[in-house]
Structure 1
């Protein structure tokens, strides 16, 4: 297996790490509240999601929402507004709880009873790379049958574990896998 890219972008190539593109796609599949947390509607929707049950409150606390129940009640009643730091905590807690809640569903859909899911890998953008330094890259597809490690790492928001799980899966491309460590996009559906 080739070594990983050490000096990516030296000649002007543009792209993102493959596991980051996978995380974005999983976030899109997980859905959620589209209104930003800075808008009252977005904040209220997130707070209701995080406080609708004792289980949700416990998960929100575990995800980093550190305010008291009294403060939460004041926010929900509209008597007080959260600070910028608290807004960030609410949004981060919402994303973490949402990921954990939909992970099992996504895992079942992506594994598809052993059939797996077809993944499209779009190569990185070389439009700014001088001609002598450009590589021949092409669009590739791959069928991933075991999403467990990828989805678990995504749900836990563990970037390094997600990277390792992703690299283990794209190693099935053979000697071409290094071309897809950085990509312009990764596409799949569940």
Structure 2
């Protein structure tokens, strides 16, 4: 696409890619545990979440947590502590399984039986850009009716697909959609 931003930040503009802001908002709606995984309480909460059923255990294994059941039991009982690498695997597996578990719920809420969800797009920060180079970019809102591609890409943690799905949605803003490829924030609720 010829309208995509190629050299973002050259003159001092600040922001994030729109799809990253969408992923951040979806993560907030997913309701992850706030206690860090590095604390005992946070680790136990994640391990209980990942081992509460056979389905959860299979999903955790598919997400990369490939330790034995005996090792998991020792971690849960406090007889052993996982290595730093395994703590990171627990966190990745937890986030992956949590995304898969809440995806259907979020999709149903965001699609709202075809009515969609209003998305507020806050433009990039141009406070550091010299005055002659600043663009007129304003706050915009958009009603997104089909969230399937966005939620699927977020669930799969596929940045490229999420970026493509986001750009497909903001094209509805009209001829200046490229100004909203980078934003300070994207807000919506489910």
TM-score of the pair, normalised by structure 1? 0.98
Gaps of 5+ in 1: none
* Distance in 1, Cα, partners of 2:79 & 2:139: 54
* SS of residue paired to 2:20: helix
Aligned twin of 1:18: 18
* Distance in 2, Cα, partners of 1:150 & 1:180: 17
* SS of residue paired to 2:170: helix
Contact kept? 1:2, 1:178, Cα under 8 Å: no
Matched residue count: 190
* Distance in 1, Cα, partners of 2:66 & 2:7: 39
Give 1:69 deviation, angstroms.
1.3
Contact kept? 1:2, 1:175, Cα under 8 Å: no
Give 1:67 deviation, angstroms.
1.4
Aligned twin of 2:153: 153
Residue by residue, what CA displacement relative to the aligned partner does 1:24-56 show, whole Å, maximum 9, x if unpaired? 000000102110000100000000000001100
Give 1:74 deviation, angstroms.
0.7
* Distance in 2, Cα, partners of 1:92 & 1:133: 41
Give 1:71 deviation, angstroms.
1.0
* Distance in 1, Cα, partners of 2:5 & 2:66: 39
Aligned twin of 1:136: 136
1:110-189 paired onto structure 2 within 5 Å: 110-189=110-189
Contact kept? 1:29, 1:189, Cα under 8 Å: yes
Aligned twin of 1:53: 53
* Distance in 2, Cα, partners of 1:64 & 1:16: 29
Contact kept? 1:125, 1:184, Cα under 8 Å: yes
Residue by residue, what CA displacement relative to the aligned partner does 1:69-123 show, whole Å, maximum 9, x if unpaired? 1111110010010111111100000000000000000000000000000000000
* Distance in 2, Cα, partners of 1:22 & 1:2: 23
Runs of 4+ in 1 over 4 A off after TM superposition: none
RMSD of aligned residue pairs (Cα, Å):
0.8
Give 1:2 deviation, angstroms.
4.2
